[in-house]
Chain A
């Protein structure tokens, strides 16, 4: 018993490191919180923890897939890849938090602790193998997120965001729990592998009874990835939260949610039949709505943060297309999309954060005429915007190409055409930022304080993969192709 536990724990090192880092940061905050340089210590400790986590994750990448802890958790290459994306996302948003002025200095260490906690929840979700673990992951992720959203305690919008997030989250996780209970009531188990077994014994008509319960489960997950019609909270929360938190929300919970949806879809709906058809049809409608509505609503926004919130909704819709094709091409497309999306989101929010700190605003006007005074950062932003819009030769194009390729491979022509044409709509609002930077005249003379040399280096580090993966994406794509799921 103990030996298997230890063997299991050896697979669980990345999560353990994350937990230890979180607790360590908590103690460190309590111990040195009053000192001047406390923030530096805590951030560097968290950074080291995350890098260790990355190293151990990359070791896990080559291991074969195994269920651990009596099958409650599964460690397979797909979950490891998703965790790598999440850890990188946390690392990036920690950096944004470190330099941002949007979070008060004495709250920054709280951000570290909470973000690490959300990461633990996300990692649990990515490798969840029974419904209880899914619920546990979602709640760990959510409850800490509510606090994160309200991190600007004295700001009305931020507290409003926290409340909205909590209320909405509470309802959806209740609905999800109801769906899970329903499934348990019919099938008598919560383990994915056992659910699969009992599913295969049911005949086709009885299976249809299960569909509503799966949809109820989807409500909880769809809320996390902010897909239409569960997206209402996201613009308000994104706008109200401090920018580093928004950056964090746009990456970690979203990727974790997608990972669970991928797993559920691949395990339960792999066999063709009436259940698969209706689930795929449902996801298709959700994906189309998510992409289209996200894009259309983004057009009219006056705040860059809100615009990016809606754009991240539509990106989640793109990733859903990768889910509903139910094959390895789809999974690899999602993984690739996730990697590119991570860099693009970090870059876009990072630059918005630097500018937002200076002008205390997140209107489009802050970008006016930036190319004349700060060409380097503007070119970085242009690259990120074109990449988000899916223009070659940037990584975003390859990501969209892979998703379209996956959907056409399975013959979803209508879906592919609608998704492709949505890129035109999305390009319109991404171009607005490029337009303000390049075509408009600057309304201010001052030097942007946030554009320090180190920040420029960081942006170079973010833009490099976006450019590089636009030309030479083979390696990452092969890694993503190997990131298969364990379906038992």
Chain B
């Protein structure tokens, strides 16, 4: 039973079951139980990092688990980890730990809230570890259940709409994926390995063809699209992004952080783990189009962010813009571009988590998030002069987010640009424009909220307390440290990303 992945995956579930047995009234005990669970889980992910062999590409044998689940139908419980999923695992472990801390002030149905968060954590780990397609799908869907309730019960004024939209939208995408999974299962001859993601990879499907709606389609191109839509909804890629602003704005702080920090990465992770390795020819064939969608994401997200008057909405749109960079990096199919994309997935996770946490902290004091209120007056103003600690941390988060050299966002965006420049020169130039707009909306937002005339309400706000500083600190360290010295992360992913690039190059 000594296997790190199993422990990381099931520890949150154990914690969740434990919480179910604590009395409803003992709120602090529930909080500490959740904190302990996530802390231990985070510790285990660190342990995983320490035992990880950077020189080996692909799935690391020493951590793999294969247990028959429904052997008659070739479904196995296969877990494994490589250089692409490890950064995501670390990010997940860290963010959930910090989120539990940030949710200390949640008073409504504490027990259910923390139990659902822990269930979500386990499901997210499951997605990053699963190497069996069926298992992957189950975790991919199970993740929706806690999210639905977390948004719908603890969310803002329009929470029901947001929760249902999020659920249905993601479910739509994953059902298309399910059809793809089953079709692959039969294409692979429904043998022992027909659900094994690794065995399916390598591009064996380019010669098959099927008929759909009365016309002939190339198997790999069609199913690349089915998978693409499933993952693109999660990222979200441009035409499928409409659920995101609602879900983000309505969700409670911790859930926004998880949503932006981890769940969006599941989409791009899906490309890296499934769509690209399994359908390499189709991925290369459609790379231009995917890059274009990425570019649209960058620009569209940035312009939308600029128009927002609600600060949380602004950050939600900035996420769309930043995930566009990841999509562009992926479609470069060069080592720099891919490494940059994976690094950007991690760095965006930390910086956007900072921003959402900070907005949450502010919201707890102001109970509104208007930069400009609907009646035209300013929602905030002069925060800088009254909340110095808050302002300092906000500056770090904001600059990391807009890609200031020396902070984490810069490195990954620079790598992505390096990777795509040769292939898509024009796109690179336009995407750089997106960076500029990014700087514009963030600084403009900063100016309107933190400088200028002091809003009388601000005087009553308390600066950040010790707990809040404590959970912001690791993220500050992460964005600064990985901004100066990204090597530890790059070393992890290099070998695995290299393998993927070789596969796509063929």
Q: Is B186 an interface residue (CB 8 A)?
A: yes
Q: How far is the CB of B144 from chain A (nearest CB, A)?
A: 7
A397-B141, A421-B172, A438-B152 known; A405-B182 Cβ under 8 A: yes
Verify A424–B168 contact, CB threshold 8 A.
Answer: yes
Quote the shortest CB–CB distance from B331 to chain A (angstroms). 26
> Of B71, B144, B168, B182, which one neighbours A401 at CB under 8 angstroms?
B182
Is the CB–CB distance between B186 and A421 below 8 Å?
no
What is the count of residue pairs linking A and B with beta-carbon distances less than 8 angstroms? 82
**Interfacial residues of chain A within 450-487, with CB under 8 A of chain B in the complex:** 472-474, 477-478
Smallest beta-carbon distance A280→chain B, Å: 15
Contact mask A63-92 → B, CB, 8 Å, 1/0?
Answer: 000000000000000000000000000000
User: A397–B139 Cα gap in the complex (Å)?
Assistant: 13
Complex contact A474–B160 (CB within 8 A): no
B394 CB-CB contact with A under 8 Å: no
Residue in contact with A424 in the complex, picked from B145, B159, B175, B179, CB distance below 8 Å: B175
Closest to B212 in A: A413
Contact B72 A474, beta carbon cutoff 8 Å? yes
B73 contacts partner chain A, Cβ-Cβ < 8 Å: yes
Identify which of residues 408-439 in chain A touch chain B, using a CB-to-CB cut-off of 8 Å: 408-409, 411, 413-414, 416-417, 420-421, 423-424, 427-428, 431, 434-435, 438-439
Do A393 and B182 touch (CB < 8 A)?
no
> Is the C-beta of B176 less than 8 angstroms from some C-beta in chain A?
yes
Cα separation A411 to B210 with both chains bound (whole Å) = 8
Residues on B with C-beta less than 8 A from A401 are 178, 182
- Does chain A have a CB within 8 A of B22? no
Task: Please report whether the interface of chain A is mostly helix, strand, loop or mixed according to DSSP.
Answer: helix
Asked if A17 is at the interface (CB within 8 A of a chain B CB), the reply is no
Q: Residue B213 contacts which of A414, A421, A478 (CB distance < 8 angstroms)?
A: A414
Taking CB atoms and an 8 Å cut-off, the chain A residues in 292-341 that contact chain B are none
Measured between beta carbons, the chain B residues less than 8 angstroms from A417 are 176, 179, 212
On whether the beta carbons of A408 and B183 are closer than 8 Å, the reply is: yes
Q: How far is the CB of B189 from chain A (nearest CB, A)?
A: 12
Q: How far is the CB of A368 from chain B (nearest CB, A)?
A: 13
Interface size on B, residues (CB 8 A): 34
Does B164 touch A at the CB level, under 8 Å?
yes
B72–A409 CB distance below 8 A = no
A411 to B164, CA, bound (A): 32
Q: Once the chains are docked, how many angstroms separate the CA of A421 from the CA of B149?
A: 23
How many of chain A's residues touch chain B, expressed as a range?
20 to 34
Whether, in the assembled complex, B276 has its beta carbon less than 8 Å from a beta carbon of chain A, the answer is no
In the docked arrangement, what's the CA distance between A408 and B212, Å?
11
Task: Assess whether B185 is in contact with A405, with CB atoms less than 8 Å apart.
Answer: yes
Contact A427 B210 (CB under 8 A): no
B292 contacts the other chain (CB 8 A) = no
- B1 contacts partner chain A, Cβ-Cβ < 8 Å: no
Known: A404-B178, A474-B73. A439 touches B210 (CB 8 A): no
Task: State A409–B145 Cα separation when bound (angstroms).
Answer: 29
When each residue 143-162 of chain B gets 1 if its CB lies under 8 Å from chain A and 0 otherwise, what string results?
A: 01100110011000001100
Per-residue contact bits, chain B 168-211, to A (CB 8 Å; 1 contact, 0 not): 10011001101100110110000000000000000000000011
Taking CB atoms, residues of chain B closer than 8 Å to A428 are 164, 168
B164–chain A nearest beta-carbon distance, Å: 6
Which residues of B come within 8 Å of A, CB atoms? 70-73, 137-138, 141-142, 144-145, 148-149, 152-153, 159-160, 163-164, 167-168, 171-172, 175-176, 178-179, 182-183, 185-186, 210-213
13 contacts between A and B (CB under 8 A): A392-B138, A401-B178, A404-B182, A411-B211, A413-B211, A414-B213, A420-B175, A421-B172, A424-B172, A431-B168, A438-B149, A439-B163, A473-B70
Chain A residues in the interface with B (C-beta under 8 A): 386, 391-393, 397, 401, 404-405, 408-409, 411, 413-414, 416-417, 420-421, 423-424, 427-428, 431, 434-435, 438-439, 472-474, 477-478
